[in-house]
Amino acid sequence: MLDIKFVRENPEIVKENIKKKYQDAKLPLVDEVIELDEIARNAQTEADELKAKKNALSKQIGGFMKEGKKDEAEKVKAEVAEFADRIKELEEKQANAEEKRLADMMRIPNIIDPSVPLGPDDSYNVEIEKFGEPVVPDFEIPYHTEIMESFNGVDMEAAGKVAGNGFYYLMGDIARLHSAVISYARDFMIDRGFTYVVPPFMIHGNVVSGVMSFDEMDAMMYKIEGEDLYLIGTSEHSMIGKFIDTITPAEQLPLTYTSYSPCFRKEKGAHGIEERGVYRIHQFEKQEMIVVCKPEDADMWYDKLWTNTVDLFRSMEIPVRTLNCCSGDLADLKVKSLDVEAWSPRQKKYFEVGSCSNLGDAQARRLKIRVKGEDGQKYFATTLNNTVVAPPRMLIAFLENHLQADGSVTIPKVLQPYMGGKEVLVPKNK
């Protein structure tokens, strides 16, 4: 959410940013916000003036009573009562305008960084750099669920009966590989100085609206019926919520965390053939990175965060590339975002396995996450997040890149301690 003062003083900049986001339907919100802001401020000014007059008149009543001037006192009392009624009316007017203003402000997108390429959708995202050499083997690579089934490692059919489409059972070596990747990612981030956290997997509605836009909320979040609780779509949600209504001394920043959680998502919309299996699902697990820092340190941390993900995947011998996300592909709260994509030898292309985002002070403003500077001044923190690893999607890249012609899957050295020393997985069915 933007600063109302910024919107008030720079309406054309805000409108131009909305156009860059290809959200022209939101343009009227800017003028509406400014109008509501003026109504609220005028109502407050008039109410404050009336309160001052009311207080002055109230002091006169006692004086008149002492002097025995009862009629004069009653006249003043009547004036005071009129002022009180008008003040109440103005306060209601102010509150209604501020409520509508806030609702509109929550829908206006954050100002994007100048480095963000312009474009309406993810087809306009721009490749930055490739890491590792993509390889296409001289044998056919099966679809990822077929590879898993060769190890008796997945049961989509039974999961469909139990929970419906978008769920799965992972079993045996594949389930162990899934847990091994999560555990390795945890230790990888701890070794890089991040504090490990297991957060709440449900959050209140005010936290949901604090960490994401209403459109995202509707598309992603599962609500617990009859309660003010939502299942998290990522641990970023509860981790940023951890700092709601806090003031952190600047010298204690940055706050750097790596958090584990299951994630639950509606995943609305049609999905292509390559998004079947365990690619786009309603439940998965993820290791995340969260940073709360000073605004001037945000770019440095942004680069550190996506570099961590690249380094993790390269340590597991998986080629990746980074993409600069275009304006139309950015969620409303984001200043900029970078996707990490892993190489798929089967598809002969890259696919998304993680996303790094700088949200500026958008989440901090909504949740009142503030910093106290050395000069005693308070300001909003900057929040960033990034995926460390999110199996089972990451397993697709892992299995395809480590699959051998005989159907076995090699285990890179960094992961072997988490797999009981195994160097290779041998299929049970061919």
Q: What is the CATH number of the domain that holds 375?
A: 3.30.930.10
Q: What is the CATH number of the domain that holds 60?
A: 1.10.287.40
- Is residue 159 included in any domain, yes or no? yes
Segments forming the whole domain that contains residue 42 = 4-105
Q: pLDDT digit string (tens) for 26-84? A: 999 999 999 999 999 999 999 999 888 877 777 676 666 666 676 776 676 777 777 78
Q: Looking at the structure, do residues 10 and 63 belong to the same domain, yes or no?
A: yes
Q: What is the pLDDT, as a whole number, of residue 27?
A: 98
Q: Looking at the structure, do residues 290 and 410 belong to the same domain, yes or no?
A: yes
- Is residue 114 included in any domain, yes or no? no
Q: What is the pLDDT, as a whole number, of residue 83?
A: 74
- Is residue 117 included in any domain, yes or no? no
Which string of DSSP letters, residue by residue, matches 364-381? Answer: HHHHTEEEE-TTS-EEEP
Pick from 283, 210, 201, 195: nearest CA to 240: 210
Q: Looking at the structure, do residues 133 and 95 belong to the same domain, yes or no?
A: no
pTM: 0.90
Distance CA 316, CA 185 (A): 11
Q: Looking at the structure, do residues 258 and 137 belong to the same domain, yes or no?
A: yes
Q: Looking at the structure, do residues 138 and 218 belong to the same domain, yes or no?
A: yes
Q: Looking at the structure, do residues 296 and 160 belong to the same domain, yes or no?
A: yes
pLDDT truncated to tens, each residue of the chain (430 aa)?
899 999 999 999 999 999 999 999 999 999 999 999 999 999 999 999 988 887 777 767 666 666 667 677 667 677 777 778 889 999 999 999 999 999 999 999 999 999 999 999 999 999 999 999 999 999 999 999 999 999 999 999 999 999 998 899 999 999 999 999 999 999 999 999 999 999 999 999 999 999 998 888 888 899 999 999 999 999 999 999 999 999 999 999 999 999 999 999 997 554 454 456 787 889 999 999 999 999 999 999 999 999 999 999 999 999 999 999 999 999 999 999 999 999 999 999 999 999 999 999 999 999 999 999 999 999 999 999 999 999 888 999 999 999 999 999 999 999 999 999 999 999 988 6
Q: Looking at the structure, do residues 100 and 131 belong to the same domain, yes or no?
A: no
Q: Looking at the structure, do residues 411 and 313 belong to the same domain, yes or no?
A: yes
Pick from 290, 337, 336, 343: nearest CA to 321: 343
Q: What is the pLDDT, as a whole number, of residue 270?
A: 43
For the chain, how many structural domains are there in total?
2
- Is residue 116 included in any domain, yes or no? no
Q: Looking at the structure, do residues 249 and 381 belong to the same domain, yes or no?
A: yes
Q: What is the pLDDT, as a whole number, of residue 72?
A: 73
- Is residue 113 included in any domain, yes or no? no
Distance CA 63, CA 184 (A): 79
Q: Is 48 helix (H, G, I), strand (E, B) or coil?
A: helix
